[in-house]
Amino acid sequence: MTKSFKHSKSTLSPQFQKQIKDILVRAGDFKVEVDAILLKYRPPPFLKEDTQILEQLFLKFHSVVKQLQERQRGRKPFNVENEYDVQDLLHGLLRIYFDDVRPEEYCPSYAGTSARIDFFLKNEQIVIEAKMASKRHGRKKIAEELILDKEYYRKKEGSRILYCLVYDPDEMIKNPRGFESDLNERGENFEAKVLVVPR
């Protein structure tokens, strides 16, 4: 059994005790200052629930579109024909779960141009992009846009993750899982998640 040896206060001079107290006080003050500085750079942990909600919304998006096309009593269907329609419908769905949904936010410039974010969930620090695949807007063009989007949003203050819905009802993107894998990114300070639907 090892014996612990402790200095009694009587073995330390009052001057030495004061020096130790001063060092401890200064160390405590320094820690408080450092914590205050780092706080604004320390991202809040993502709520898994928020990202799960987004993924479920994206995965159910096509089912919602189909349901809106089947209206009662001969009324005109709500058709989703272009990217603006996708954005409008997604905006409505996001409002169900998130209180602060900011459409068309500007973000810092990249390569001399600036972009507009489709939606920004400020409290959750999530940027959302919505795209629709078509003959004129195919795999290559969407991939190029998303590569640029990631660079834009990486610079936006308060954004930690990009979620992108690529709506592809006519299956213009061949090998959608490979497309997602090529564009998904998970870094220390930024994450990008692309989902092509329907699956």
Instruction: Reply yes or no on whether the pLDDT at 117 is more than 80.
Output: no
Output the DSSP codes for 65-129. HHHHHS-STTPPP----SHHHHHHHHHHHHHHH-S-EEEEEE---BTTB--EEEEEETTTTEEEE
Q: How far apart are CA 139 and CA 166, in angstroms?
A: 10
Question: Residue 33 — pLDDT band, cuts 50, 70, 90?
Answer: confident
- Specify the CATH class of 50-197 in words: alpha beta
Cis before 14 (ω within 30): no
In this prediction, residue 109 has a pLDDT band, given cuts at 50, 70 and 90, of very low
The CA distance from 46 to 38, in Å, is 18
pLDDT for 74 equals 82
pLDDT at 114 over 50: no
Question: Which residue would you say has higher pLDDT here, 169 or 46?
Answer: 169
φ, ψ dihedrals at 122, nearest 5°: -65, -45
Give the chain's count of helices (H) and strands (E).
5, 6
Q: Which of 102-111, 127-136, 138-147 is predicted with the least confidence, judged by mean pLDDT?
A: 102-111
Taken as a whole, the chain contains a residue count of: 199
Nearest partner of 103 among 131, 127, 76, 68, judged by Cα: 127
Return the biggest CA–CA distance within the chain: 95
Query: Quick one: pLDDT band at residue 48, thresholds 50, 70, 90?
Result: low
Pairing of strands 116-121, 126-132: antiparallel
What integer pLDDT is reported at residue 174 of this predicted model?
A: 93
